[in-house]
Chain A
Amino acid sequence: NAGVTQTPKFQVLKTGQSMTLQCAQDMNHEYMSWYRQDPGMGLRLIHYSVGAGITDQGEVPNGYNVSRSTTEDFPLRLLSAAPSQTSVYFCASSWDNSGTGILFFGSGTQLSVL
């Protein structure tokens, strides 16, 4: 049972480049989300989805796009990378759409934007 799988684990981008962070889960969870973690800032919600075809913005959505074409996959796209997007990104999923279920996190993607 793989759980939540994120790729890549590490990525270095130049300012202005675009890329997609991949997230997949094999637990049939309806809820999926993306967080960024910065030193001293905790975990901040970027975007989330409560099911295929449904996405919504979190606390810090600017500069990021998401889509949810299947239950399993929830990719995060950086359209034009900026140094302020240097962070560790975590994907998380849950069986509960109400916000009151356990979040299962992926192993994270460490992104550096130069």
Chain B
Amino acid sequence: GENVEQHPSTLSVQEGDSAVIKCTYSDSASNYFPWYKQELGKRPQLIIDIRSNVGEKKDQRIAVTLNKTAKHFSLHITETQPEDSAVYFCAASKGGSQGNLIFGKGTKLSVKP
């Protein structure tokens, strides 16, 4: 079935460094790719998303890139801050079905001051 692979599972960076999280998906019909951030004990919240007709999208310190040919997309966080520490989930829409997202298993990002 459809699958979303996310790497790495844990990532530790120094404050001010960049962080990159990568995801691959299997469903060639997927056309929507959101990223959610979940702080400890809190609910997941959308931080950025990209659609299949766009190769890159940026919002201040975060950016997402999409390579549809290779079926992978990445989250880039620049100038990391301690408040960026959280678990990040990528997701891909399930082609041909209504209302479904397939999530990756998450990346725990730790930003050390």
Q: Which residues of A contact B (CB under 8 A)?
A: 31, 33, 35, 40-45, 48, 50, 58-59, 90, 94, 97-100, 102-103, 105-108
Contact = CB atoms under 8 A, between A and B. Distances in A.
B103 interface: yes
Most chain-A CB neighbours within 10 Å: which of B9, B101, B104?
B101
Given A42-B89, A100-B51, A33 B99 contact: yes
Interface stretch (B38-46, B54-62, B68-76): B38-46
B107 to A, nearest CB: 10
Contacts of B44: 43, 90, 103, 105
Contacts of A33: 99
Contact of A103 (B31, B46, B94, B98): B46
10 contacts: A33-B99, A42-B105, A43-B89, A94-B99, A97-B98, A98-B93, A99-B98, A102-B34, A102-B46, A107-B42
A51 B3 CA distance: 26
B23 to A, nearest CB: 11
Given A99-B32, A105-B43, A107-B43, A44 B103 contact: yes
B103 A100 contact: no
A50 B46 CA distance: 20
Range class of the B interface residue count: 20 to 34
Given A42-B89, A43-B89, A90-B44, A102 B49 contact: yes
Contacts of B99: 31, 33, 48, 50, 94, 97-99
A106 B44 CA distance: 9
Given A99-B94, A105-B44, 10 more contacts: A42-B105, A42-B106, A43-B89, A59-B102, A97-B98, A97-B99, A98-B98, A99-B93, A102-B46, A105-B43
Nearest to A90: B43
Contacts of A35: 103
Contact of B43 (A42, A50, A94, A108): A108
B43 A58 contact: no
Contact of B100 (A42, A99, A102): A99
Given A31-B99, A97-B98, A98-B99, A42 B104 contact: yes
